[in-house]
Chain A
């Protein structure tokens, strides 16, 4: 059966998820700009139809297919919801994969210096106010980076997009660490 057909038109049985990219699965146009609401609407609507809770009384085969469908929907949703995961996925989809797991391989000396300075500043920050300031800074830089990333994808400049995804990866990690530090300080205080 053609990919994208959820239920058999004859017997109504649920079909397998087939191979589809995450954008197509949720009925979205391929691109970096994804509106959270536009993502959630189809995600919830499809889960309503395909989630295993709808197949509790069905045959083992239908149960298994529904589980596969729901699993793929969750994967698509989780990937597209997160700007970093979305950027990486989009590059891959457009034929330019980046290996995010290869840590520390920054072949961009400027980015390396910048990130080292920021990490140092965070490590040296001791007061809640200082950490909050660094967090806000990292946060707004991350947002700015996402804007540039969007522009790069729109312009079809994949080399620039790959560079920005790399930068976003470090900024995201920085935001996470700053948030963790902030929470730890708040808990102690």
Chain B
């Protein structure tokens, strides 16, 4: 590290010895971003590769290693069965939910899991989405600690506004497993609005259209003098750029003709599809190769075809937008601006359709990939240091209870400002009934089976009374994180009955405690394994670069020089099979030294090539 020299009389920056700072994390379906704010100025923290985005992809090695980010994504082509991506789509989901998505998700589900949370089989391990998300969050925490040169323990983590209670709880649990205290779960569109509002001092009614890899949110906010008041929100927690990738992949596969595919091969086709989609943001057409099984096929895709494939998904987002505008009881003309958030809003079709719907060009002057993390960082600073701004968010979905005949009785309607507490009275339907089963659901539909089951519990100890005489007061509380607590008591006798909530799709306290214990025990080994994996990846990258250079400019070397390089590379390769990180680092350094001469020769040659044909006068002029 470079030493900092100070001007005489100047003291070191005051923040150097400050308490650990709180970070803002956008835990995305495709990519995650971490940022930190200081005095309202936000810095997106970059990784060793200089990129702000961290691919939300985890690769689990046979040796127990865990790799997160672009390097893990690249392993899809090599070891697809070891790689997990888009895990956010499974947060808080049960096996039944996932079955309805069957075929669209390239995961190997653990068939032993009955009810409760989904479990995946990855490289011989059985993992919950919470644990996999925790691995991504550990990598984020490590990135922040490296960038800030100190421990980071607190964070604001963003979630889609439309995330239900189970998915929010799962996200908070994942952060806890990764050793992060969640200061607040902030809704992604609200975080984006915070970043925009403070940056542009926008005032009035704004729409935030957030289309990510796997989730869609639309929020209408009123921004005024530091107050960000969400008026209405809506979305779809399973709609995003991933769906477009799937449509493209299916298009390619249809062109290839029917063939059986493994989960790994599906991931490979999806990766090609994603590249094609991203490429068509700027170009009007191109050709892509699908290389799976023993066949390699070429596929032409142009912008018009992509638009046709993506249109149903974009139309669905527009329909949700109209619903939210109606919910807020405003007209399109009242909306002063539309902010685009999320990588999928780069698609030209999305931009033109959103502009058409709202009758104005959308704003996207803050990088749509980073704007949520920027807002989260601002809120993290506001929560720890203090702030004048105020975020007033709402419940995205109605919360209710199952009553006779499977009908839902709403206790808290959607779009209520949080925190909120509301209660409803219920009664018994049998003489002498002493217990009552309470089923908590979330959603807008009238029937229980069309809503999402959040929890079931039994209220016991109701004094025996005639049917209809007992008064059971069920109270719902939603806190500022959007998390629900339910309590129930019989009011005529004042009997406070015990309530045990068993989450339908979450982890219970015991499972959570065990995972926390395991993660503490494993923290040391995890760290060692991570460092080893990073060193290996780094060394592999250097070897690839050297091999490429030898192919391109090998003629610059004589046999002796070449032999020396080959030996150094071979030494590193042998060590890469083992687990001795120190030895790998030493050999890699030796390899670097062995190639120094070669590098200089290549540079000289490069300059000569560049100067060839340039006359001396011109050269003089240039100097």
Give chain A's interface residues, CB within 8 Å of chain B. Answer: 44, 47-48, 51-54, 56-57, 67, 70-71, 74-75, 77-78, 179-180, 183, 186-187
Task: Check A57/B420 contact, CB under 8 A, given A47-B390, A67-B479.
Answer: no
Q: Are B384 and A56 in contact (CB under 8 A)?
A: yes
Residue of A nearest to B224 (CB): A44
A69 to B, closest residue via Cβ: B419
CA distance A70 to B420 in the complex (A): 8
A135 to B421, CA, bound (A): 33
B384 close to A57 (CB less than 8 A): yes
Residues of B within 8 A of A78 (CB): 416-417
Tell me the minimal C-beta distance from A25 to chain B in angstroms: 14
Beyond A51-B392, A74-B418, 20 additional contacts (C-beta under 8 Å) are: A52-B419, A53-B379, A53-B382, A53-B383, A53-B390, A53-B480, A56-B184, A67-B480, A70-B480, A71-B419, A71-B477, A74-B420, A75-B420, A75-B421, A78-B416, A179-B326, A180-B326, A183-B322, A187-B319, A187-B322
- B388: chain A residues at CB < 8 Å are 48
The interface residues of chain A lying within 8 Å CB-to-CB of B447 are none
Chain A residues with Cβ below 8 Å from B326 are 179-180, 183
Q: Provide the residues of chain B in CB contact with A187, threshold 8 Å.
A: 319, 322
Closest A residue to B391 by beta carbon equals: A53
Interchain CA distance A163-B379 in the complex, whole Å: 48
In the bound complex, residues from chain B placing their C-beta under 8 Å from that of A44 are 227, 390
Q: Which 6 A-B pairs have the closest CB atoms?
A: A56-B383, A52-B480, A74-B417, A183-B326, A71-B419, A71-B421
- Residues from chain B with Cβ under 8 Å of A51 in the complex: 390, 392, 480
Please give the distance in Å from B219's CB to the nearest CB on chain A: 17
Residues of B within 8 A of A54 (CB): 386
B415-442 contact mask (Cβ, 8 Å, vs A): 1 or 0? 0111111000000000000000000000
Contacts of B323 in A (CB 8 A): 183
B181 to chain A, nearest CB (A): 10
Segment 201-233 of B: residues with Cβ below 8 Å from A: 227
Q: Which residue of B lies closest to A54 (CB)?
A: B386
Chain B residues with CB below 8 A from A186, complex form: 322
Contact of A70 with B383 in the complex, beta carbons under 8 Å: no
Q: How long is the Cα–Cα vector from A73 to B623 in the complex, in angstroms?
A: 71
Contact among A48, A67, A77, A183 for B419, CB-based, below 8 A: A67
The count of chain B contact residues (Cβ–Cβ below 8 Å) is 26
The answer to whether the Cβ of B183 comes within 8 Å of any Cβ in the partner chain is yes
CB contacts (< 8 Å) of B480 on chain A: these are 51-53, 67, 70
CB distance from B458 to the nearest CB of A (A): 26
Compute how far the CA of A67 lies from the CA of B477 in the bound complex, rounded to whole angstroms.
Answer: 10
- Taken together as a complex, chains A and B put the C-alpha atoms of A173 and B410 apart, in Å, by 17
* Closest B residue to A180 using CB positions: B326
27 A–B contact pairs at CB < 8 A?
A44-B227, A47-B392, A48-B388, A48-B390, A51-B392, A52-B419, A52-B480, A53-B184, A53-B480, A54-B386, A56-B183, A56-B184, A57-B383, A57-B384, A67-B479, A70-B480, A71-B421, A71-B477, A74-B416, A74-B418, A74-B419, A74-B420, A75-B420, A75-B421, A183-B322, A183-B326, A187-B322
Q: Which residues of B contact A (CB under 8 A)?
A: 183-184, 227, 319, 322-323, 326, 329, 379, 382-384, 386, 388, 390-392, 416-421, 477, 479-480
Contacts of A75 in B (CB 8 A): 420-421
Give chain B residues whose Cβ lies under 8 Å from the Cβ of A70. Answer: 419, 480
Decide: A77 near B417, CB < 8 A? Known: A44-B390, A71-B477, A183-B326: yes
B253 to chain A, nearest CB (A): 33
CB distance from B221 to the nearest CB of A (A): 14
Q: Once bound together, how far apart are the Cα atoms of A67 and B329, in whole Å?
A: 28
> Chain B residue with minimal CB distance to A64?
B479
Chain A residues with Cβ under 8 A from B379's Cβ? 53
CB distance from A67 to the nearest CB of B (A): 5
How many Å from the CB of B179 to the closest CB on chain A? Answer: 18
In angstroms, Cα B617 to Cα A49, docked, is 72
- For the complex, give the distance between the alpha carbons of A70 and B540 in Å: 55
User: In the docked arrangement, what's the CA distance between A78 and B420, Å?
Assistant: 11
Residues of B within 8 A of A179 (CB): 326, 329
Residues of chain A within 8 A (CB-CB) of B477 are 67, 71
Whole-angstrom distance between the alpha carbons of A47 and B420 in the complex? 13
Asked whether, in the complex, the Cβ of B420 is within 8 Å of the Cβ of A71, the reply is: yes
Inside 8 A of A52's CB, which chain B residues have their CB?
Answer: 419, 479-480
Report chain A residues within 8 Å CB of B184: 53, 56
Bound CA span A53–B386, Å: 9
Q: B420 contacts which chain A residues (CB < 8 A)? A: 71, 74-75
Q: Which residue in chain A gives the minimum CB-CB distance to B329?
A: A179
B residues in contact with A71, CB < 8 Å: 419-421, 477
Q: Using Cβ atoms and an 8 Å threshold, which residues of chain A touch B319?
A: 187
Shortest B605–chain A CB gap in Å is: 59
